[in-house]
Amino acid sequence: MFKITDRVDYVGKIDWQLRTFHGEQLTTNRGSSYNSYLIKDKKNVLIDTVWDPFSKEFIDNLEKAIGLKNIDYVIALHAEPDHSGALPYLMELIPDVPVYCTANGIKSLKGYYHKDWNFVPVKTGDVLDLGDSKITFVEATMLHWPDQLMAYFDKDEILFSSDAFGQHFATEFMYDDAKKIDMSELLFEAIKYYANIVAPYSSRVTQKLEEIKGFNLPVKIVAPSHGVMWRENPNLILEKYAKWADSYKEDQITIIYDTMYGSTRRMAECIAEGIRAVTPETTVKLFHFATADNSDVITEAFRSKAILVGSPTYNSGILSSIAALLEELKGMRLSGKKAAAFGSYGWAPISTKVIAKMLSDANFELMDPDNVKASWNPTEEAIKECVEFGKKFAEFAK
Ligand code: FEO
């Protein structure tokens, strides 16, 4: 626990050990935190809890920090178990305390815990009076679940933003202060979080940022549910989200492939050579998806203006790692990005057709039908063709 302001304490949990999230779906190489906040006024409010494994520690700390009987209200900004995990244990101890959340939050919490707590549904503009201060609620539907809610604490001008603006980033110093933390690490974790969790809902992000701006509320601290609070420069993350939500791209081409005996890898390297020959200023990155950190590769794809995806033909289709990549890219609903397919084959040149179709379904603009194929181990001629294909792709991606 630590003090954020005279009225607000941090009562969450920093999880240094976490290495995967959403089961095994997302890597969290720098750990995470489950942020929970306690606001003290004439009425005391707890915002969110922590993930189930830390429930006992959380409740013991809360007892020391305020005494459970002194909690007047609970706000559940989000029902996902990383934030609501300790709620069933807490509500056993304070069963009559009202739980403020959205109508969808009630559905999700009941769906998870099968309990009928003293729910109070709230909507955008609803206010909770704490005595000398107040909390105003702002719905944040589909950022990234239907139930999501934000809460603005007027006295200290803090926006409790739930998952939005968060990062899976464990650190002892929980603020965006460049003197105390590595800002490049923080911003990488923030964009990784956006790419892997928030990107499918980018149009909602744009709407929500406009809505928040329209309220004309001063924001001194943006306090998300994971990672550091944005206090030194709260506008930085708001500006980043505005850019990331708007068909974001850097001058980068990412080449993602899988390979069995190195033929498709060789093709990837020759395509990269072709790109570098035409646009040496463009950052080109290659990833062997089967062994790379998949969540980091998704982040690189999100940053790119264009991607190339390669697989050898395998069982009349493609290797399963590349199928998984394409399925994930489809779910991200990206816009404004270009792509092409490549791959080797033995006796049936199928993989590039499969990849091109999946890229098209994932909303990429294709350089179709100019996908490049090579049979067996690429010949000198096939190598030259890959370099030329890379040159053509660099022009296409400009
Ligand atoms: Fe951090 Fe959507 O839970």
- Determine if ligand 1 sits within 6 Å of the CB of residue 168: no
Average pLDDT, the chain: 97
pLDDT band of 301, cuts 50, 70, 90: very high
Ligand 1 mean position, distance from CA 231 (Å):
21
Q: How far apart are CA 97 and CA 79, in angstroms?
A: 17
- Is 83 in the active site? no
Burial class (CB in 10 A: 0-12, 13-18, 19+), 387: buried
Q: Are the beta carbons of 9 and 65 closer than 8 angstroms? A: yes
For the stretch 31-70, pLDDT in tens is 999 999 999 999 999 999 999 999 999 999 999 999 999 9
Residue 73: predicted pLDDT: 98
For the stretch 232-266, pLDDT in tens is 999 999 999 999 999 999 999 999 999 999 999 99
Residue 27: predicted pLDDT: 98
- Is 163 in the active site? yes
Ligand 1 mean position, distance from CA 34 (Å):
9
Ligand 1 mean position, distance from CA 88 (Å):
17
Q: State mean pLDDT over 154-178.
A: 97
In order of start, what are the domains of the chain with their CATH numbers? 2-244 (3.60.15.10), 250-393 (3.40.50.360)
pLDDT band of 370, cuts 50, 70, 90: low
Cis peptide before 369 (omega within 30 of 0): yes
Atom of ligand 1 nearest to the CA of 148: 2
pLDDT at 4 > cutoff 70: yes
DSSP 8-state code for residue 255? E
- Determine if ligand 1 sits within 6 Å of the CB of residue 139: no
Atom of ligand 1 nearest to the CA of 226: 1
pTM: 0.97
At how many degrees (to 10) do helices 294-303 and 320-332 cross?
Answer: 50
pLDDT band of 371, cuts 50, 70, 90: confident
Residue 281: predicted pLDDT: 98
Residue 389: predicted pLDDT: 96
Residue 317: predicted pLDDT: 96
Q: Which of 159-163, 350-354, 368-372 has the lowest mean pLDDT?
A: 368-372
Q: How far apart are CA 244 and CA 370, in angstroms?
A: 30
Atom of ligand 1 nearest to the CA of 162: 1
- Phi first, then psi: give them for residue 254, nearest 5 degrees: -110, 130
Active-site choice (73, 193, 248, 314): 193
